[in-house]
Structure 1
Amino acid sequence: MPTKEVEIIVYGAEVLCPSCVNLPSSKETYEWLDAAIARKFPEQAFTISYVDIYNPPEDSTKKEFAVRVIEEDMFYPVVVIEDEIVGEGSPKLKTIYKELEKYGYVQAGI
């Protein structure tokens, strides 16, 4: 079981990034990840939140990273787990699952 409840943050925007034209929106990616992770790691708590890079919350860490996404022209959505970037533009579930397993998350059926 997880050693702690991991926070997953999806940074994105309403408008698709110019290089991500045929991909789902940041918000759709956030919803898809939430459902996929809950299925893969049932009954294992995690927090997932969405941060609009053009309208970030007051939380200084999230606000600073949102500015970084814009300034560094990152492909969004950018998926961050415990301060580690694990996906940009079109995040890969396999990579995200591997990162969660580092924190003790166990896949269903194993």
Structure 2
Amino acid sequence: MNKQVVIEVYGAEQICASCVNMPSSKETMDWLQAAISRKYPQQPFTIDYIDIYNPPEHEEKKVFAQRVIEEDLFYPVVLVEGKIVGEGNPRLKAIYSELEQFGYQPK
């Protein structure tokens, strides 16, 4: 593996109206972190949660948070190195596939 991948989870405290009975964005982030750590042990990655209604001062994150709101994307929206790989109820298979593009090897 050549690079520590950055995964971003954009979401909100309130569950998306179309995502009733789904885990919250933060719960999804915790679930992803655990699942990825198990699948790719000893292969570091960074996972960040960004609240779409209170994004950090980083301009790129603010712009994407606004896009989630304006385009009515289903959140949480999961990005791997800036590419959307999951929306609403993200699929591990899609996320794993993207990580493997960066050289991650499953256990």
TM-score tier (shorter): over 0.9
Partner of 2:94: 95
TM-score, normalising length from structure 1? Answer: 0.96
Which of structure 1's runs of 4+ aligned residues deviate more than 4 A? Answer: none
Matching residue of 2:7: 8
**1:88 positional shift:** 0.1
Name the Cα RMSD after superposition. Answer: 0.5
State the one-letter code of the partner of 2:25.
S
Residue 38 (structure 1) aligns with: 37
- The alignment partner of 1:105 has SS state of coil
User: Where do residues 39-54 of structure 1 align in structure 2 (5 Å cutoff)?
Assistant: 39-54=38-53
The percentage of aligned residue pairs carrying the same residue is 65
1:72 aligns with 2:61: no
Q: CA deviation at 1:3?
A: 1.6
Aligned residues: 107
> Does residue 62 of the first structure (1) align with residue 54 of the second (2)?
no
Q: Give the Cα–Cα distance (whole angstroms) in 1 for the partners of residues 7 and 34 of structure 2.
A: 13
User: 1:54 Cα shift?
Assistant: 0.3
Provide the rounded CA distance (Å) in 1 between the counterparts of 2:64 and 2:38: 28
Instruction: Give the secondary structure class of the aligned counterpart of 1:37.
Output: helix
Q: Which structure 2 residue ranges, 5 or more long, are not aligned?
A: none
Query: C-alpha displacement at 1:83, in angstroms?
Result: 1.1
Secondary structure at 1:94 match in 2 = helix
